[in-house]
């Protein structure tokens, strides 16, 4: 029997929770980003990757350089037959030994590597303790043959210990100090240098304030902390000198290129299995004790308990909401992978194979935090307050900031400050926690004020940056970072920001009234009216809306342009905001469908730029069809699904969704190349030589939004202040679907049937046996389960 979404490189497990990879030769590294919110690691199907704590740029623990072709930086385990001298690795890299059996499973919080080589079955499971800065490598070896085998297992990782990448290694290695402890079967590493200034502003003058360690559950036979003796001069991890030697050199101290290598012996009778556990971590000085962490986690029993704890930990974030529809790709992604991707990678790990980030993006992680709304909204609350604290009293914000010690660029970006009230609205609709508006949060340059005032100052700041025609200025750029030369002289305009602001004001006016801020509510109303008028007067290009005007007053995203004639953002948001009306709505939708909705999703603009335009920005400097330059930029492409549902085009909405839902690309995986279980940041557009190729996977805002457009706009279950709205826009052939989710501390089990095979329209709705007149399920807030029966169809 075939497996779900099977392709030549792998398949989903039947429940969709695991992705199984059947060969090391995937077209790109297919990885997992595992994090507990503090300590994180990435690992590819080859076993390559690295670890970090807090963030991957400022606090890298093991060394790595970005190279998706070689994929050859990792923390590896070697297995050696001491009699024959044959050796291989527990993952395909680095030794790349031929195998009799191979399976890699990536899943929620762990990755597993199964191989059969030289008559030995190895099963390596990699995961992170939910509540400690420790990763575990649980290796079970089984002797499948008839003879007793004398094996040894040797670990290997290079220490980075601080800022990454440590390109100038000959400098950085001079500060690392290693030591060993045979009673703990461990090696330790410290570094007397961190890339931050000391309290007097002096660089290169503080310690890296952690102790890194690697330990093993079996008695240590030998160890090495020196790369030179382990690898041998001019050799590599594929065949290190250590595999030609009886034992590791035992070099340790301050005078080497520091690594961690531990060697233990494993003797296996025929059919016997044995588990060895390696731990790796970094204990913070004065807060954590490396030896205590080693003792707590470095045993077979502890590793089993910890793996169970990992399952429980993730269940809290993943299982609070569950959908069952006739579309398995939608189910798998919505139920497991998008939540996991958004939380583990985007919000916590903040790093991935294609992009190493060093902090939080003001707009990015705010949007991502919506993923917590169903499972545990308190995390979204924390995120809102955290971002509010990155604001200046003038209303503007840091475009991004470092997560260790803060700091980041203060810019004239036109939209990022507005995401605070935008996401606040989603939070309030889900929780009705109006108390959050009174939470006092300090500014970066002024004392604390309530969150309400933070939002108001963001909006007022936006009001102060309008063109004489009443359109918001582009400033340094809008949501599209690549438009970074359009409006830096504060003349160019962004029509998309006009629409975005219009939505925000619509949500904020009732909040202002609720707080008795009538004067501001009126002001918002006035601005709303004038924004709509100005957009429709100056932003209409005949068949669609313009993206912008440049500082020189030239239109961008117009039929007058030879490249970049039409942009997605101002057109979908014209619908989302409700600013396009009547005939124009129709025209806009038709233009989106005609020029932008292509084979692999909705393009960000068309045609792509083939020549750099210094008056537009770096979007024009990418090769045509890549990323924001005429590619499917999936973050924005998810919003096209939303827009199509609002425009009353459910088939198109589903088409736009289906084309970017990753499992569906298993069917042409050699074109797509990327992991089919997480969203990519972009898919190449028609002008690329690799039309349809996915890239920049994992670290993308599309994960959370793909989840949201599926649940809120296709399945149409949307929290409102007074209840849970049921308003699906589904393919007519669906017989129905089920959604189980929490809402304001009650459980809702919503069964939707579609006997007439319509796309939309609720005919009847029964809650706990009682028919309701409307399609709004009331708030119960009673901790109880409520069963909702919905029938779609035409009302008589
Ligand atoms: C990147 C940025 C995001 C931005 C997008 C579009 O993903 O992180 O903030 O909106 O690009 O340029």
Q: Report the side by side order of strands in the sheet with 680-683.
A: 632-633, 680-683, 694-697
pTM greater than 0.75: yes
For residue 62, the model assigns a pLDDT of 98
Reported confidence tier of residue 36, pLDDT bands at 50, 70, 90: very high
CA of 724 to the centre of ligand 1 (A): 31
Helices (H), 600-688: 634-646, 650-660, 669-672
Section 95-118 average pLDDT: 98
CA of 701 to the centre of ligand 1 (A): 8
Which pLDDT tens digit goes with each residue over 353-395?
A: 999 987 999 999 999 999 999 999 999 999 999 999 999 999 9
Instruction: Kindly tell me if the per-residue pLDDT of 288 is higher than 90.
Output: yes
Which pLDDT tens digit goes with each residue over 414-467?
A: 999 999 999 999 999 999 999 999 999 999 999 999 999 999 999 999 999 999
Q: How many other C-beta atoms are found inside a 10 Å radius of the C-beta of residue 272?
A: 13
Section 609-630 average pLDDT: 98
Instruction: Kindly tell me if the per-residue pLDDT of 309 is higher than 80.
Output: yes
Ligand 1, pocket-test mutation among 411, 419, 481, most atoms within 8 A of CB: 481
Contact assessment for residue 708 and residue 335, using Cβ atoms and an 8 Å cutoff: no
For residue 37, the model assigns a pLDDT of 97
Among residues 625, 695, 706, which one has the least CA distance to residue 660?
706
CA of 788 to the centre of ligand 1 (A): 39
CA distance 410 to 400: 8
Concatenating the DSSP letter of every residue in 724-741 gives EEE-----TT--EEEEEE
Which pLDDT tens digit goes with each residue over 453-481?
A: 999 999 999 999 999 999 999 999 999 99
Q: How many other C-beta atoms are found inside a 10 Å radius of the C-beta of residue 283?
A: 23
CA distance 351 to 305: 27
Q: Is 735 exposed, middle or buried (0-12, 13-18, 19+ CB in 10 A)?
A: exposed
Task: Tell me which residue has its CA closest to atom 9 in ligand 1.
Answer: 364
CA of 414 to the centre of ligand 1 (A): 13
Instruction: Kindly tell me if the per-residue pLDDT of 1 is higher than 80.
Output: no
Q: Is 484 in the pocket of ligand 1 (CB under 6 A)?
A: no
CA distance 398 to 390: 6
Task: Tell me which residue has its CA closest to atom 1 in ligand 1.
Answer: 481
pLDDT > 70 fraction of the chain, expressed in percent and rounded: 100
Helix (H) or strand (E) holding 160, with range, is strand 149-162
Instruction: Kindly tell me if the per-residue pLDDT of 663 is higher than 90.
Output: yes
CA angle 425–470–559, rounded 5-degree value: 95
Distance of CA 123 to the CA centre of its chain: 28
Q: Report the side by side order of strands in the sheet with 723-726.
A: 717-720, 723-726, 776-778
Q: Is 538 in the pocket of ligand 1 (CB under 6 A)?
A: no
pLDDT > 90 fraction of the chain, expressed in percent and rounded: 99
Q: Is 14 exposed, middle or buried (0-12, 13-18, 19+ CB in 10 A)?
A: exposed
Contact assessment for residue 112 and residue 99, using Cβ atoms and an 8 Å cutoff: no
């Amino acid at each position: 029997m075939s497996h779900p979404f099977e392709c030549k490189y792998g398949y989903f497990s039947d429940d969709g929770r695991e992705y199984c990879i059947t060969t090391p030769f995937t077209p790109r590294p297919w990885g997992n980003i595992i994090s507990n919110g503090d300590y994180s690691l990435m690992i590819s199907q080859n076993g390559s990757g690295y670890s970090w704590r807090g963030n991957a740029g400022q606090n890298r623990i093991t060394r790595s350089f970005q190279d998706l072709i070689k994929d050859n930086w990792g923390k590896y385990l070697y297995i050696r037959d001491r009699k024959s001298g044959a050796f291989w690795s527990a993952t395909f890299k680095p030794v790349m030994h031929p195998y009799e059996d191979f399976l890699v499973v990536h899943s929620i919080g762990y990755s597993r590597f199964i191989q059969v080589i030289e008559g030995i079955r190895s099963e390596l499971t990699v995961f992170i303790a939910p509540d400690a800065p420790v990763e575990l490598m649980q290796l079970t070896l089984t002797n499948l043959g008839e003879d007793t085998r004398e094996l040894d297992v040797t670990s290997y990782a290079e220490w980075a210990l601080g800022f990454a990448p440590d390109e100038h290694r000959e400098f950085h290695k001079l500060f690392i100090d290693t030591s060993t402890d045979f009673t703990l079967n461990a090696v330790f590493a410290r570094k007397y240098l961190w890339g931050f200034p000391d309290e007097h502003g002096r660089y290169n003058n503080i310690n890296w304030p952690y102790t890194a360690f690697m330990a093993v559950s079996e008695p240590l036979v030998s160890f090495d902390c020196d790369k030179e003796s382990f690898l041998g001069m001019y050799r590599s991890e594929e065949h290190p000198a250590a595999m030609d030697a009886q034992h590791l050199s035992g070099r340790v101290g301050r005078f080497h290129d520091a690594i961690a290598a531990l060697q233990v012996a494993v003797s296996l009778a025929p059919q016997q299995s044995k588990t060895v556990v390696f731990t790796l971590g970094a204990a913070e000085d004065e807060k954590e004790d490396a030896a205590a962490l080693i003792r707590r986690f470095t045993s077979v029993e502890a590793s089993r308990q910890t793996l169970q704890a990992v399952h429980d930990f993730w269940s809290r974030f993943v299982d609070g909401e569950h959908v069952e529809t006739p579309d398995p790709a939608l189910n798998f992604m919505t139920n497991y992978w998008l939540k996991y991707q958004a939380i583990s990678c985007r919000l916590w790990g903040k790093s991935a194979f294609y992009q190493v980030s060093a902090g939080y993006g003001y707009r990015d992680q705010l949007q991502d935090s919506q993923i917590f709304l169903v499972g545990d909204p308190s995390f979204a609350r924390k995120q809102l307050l955290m971002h509010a604290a990155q604001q200046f009293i003038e209303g503007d914000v840091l475009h991004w900031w470092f997560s260790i010690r803060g700091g980041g660029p203060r810019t004239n970006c036109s939209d990022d400050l507005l995401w605070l009230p935008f996401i606040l609205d989603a939070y309030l609709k889900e929780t009705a926690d109006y108390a959050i508006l009174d939470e006092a949060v300090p500014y970066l340059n002024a004392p604390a004020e309530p969150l309400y005032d933070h939002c108001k100052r963001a909006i007022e700041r936006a009001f102060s940056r309008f063109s004489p025609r009443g359109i918001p200025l582009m400033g340094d750029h809008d949501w599209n970072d690549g438009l970074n030369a359009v409006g830096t002289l504060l003349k160019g305009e962004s029509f998309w920001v006009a629409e975005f602001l219009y939505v925000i004001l619509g949500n904020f006016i009732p909040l202002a009234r609720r707080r008795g801020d009538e004067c501001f509510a009126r002001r918002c109303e006035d601005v709303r009216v004038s924004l709509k008028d100005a957009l429709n007067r100056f932003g209409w290009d005949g068949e669609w809306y313009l993206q912008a005007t440049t500082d020189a007053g030239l239109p961008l995203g117009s039929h007058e342009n030879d490249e970049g004639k039409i942009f997605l953002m101002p057109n979908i948001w014209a619908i989302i905001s409700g600013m396009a009306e009547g005939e124009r709505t129709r025209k806009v939708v038709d233009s989106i469908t005609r020029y932008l909705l292509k084979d692999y999703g909705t393009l960000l603009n068309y045609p792509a730029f083939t020549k750099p335009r210094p008056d537009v920005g770096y979007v024009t400097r990418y090769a045509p069809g890549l990323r924001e330059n005429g590619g499917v930029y999936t973050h924005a492409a998810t919003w096209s699904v939303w827009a199509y549902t609002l425009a009353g085009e459910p088939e198109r909405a589903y088409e736009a969704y289906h084309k970017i839902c990753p499992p569906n690309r298993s069917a042409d995986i050699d074109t797509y190349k990327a992991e089919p279980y997480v969203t990519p940041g972009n898919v190449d557009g028609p002008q690329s030589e690799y039309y349809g190729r996915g890239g920049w996977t994992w670290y993308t805002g599309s994960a959370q939004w793909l989840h949201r457009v599926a649940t809120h706009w296709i399945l149409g279950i949307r929290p409102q202040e007074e209840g849970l709205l049921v308003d699906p826009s589904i393919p007519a052939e669906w017989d129905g679907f089920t959604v189980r989710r929490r809402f304001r501390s009650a459980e809702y089990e919503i069964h939707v049937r579609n006997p007439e095979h319509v796309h939309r329209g609720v005919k009847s709705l029964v809650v706990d046996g009682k028919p309701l007149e409307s399609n709004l399920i009331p708030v119960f807030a009673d901790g109880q389960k409520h069963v909702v029966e919905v029938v779609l169809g035409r009302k008589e």
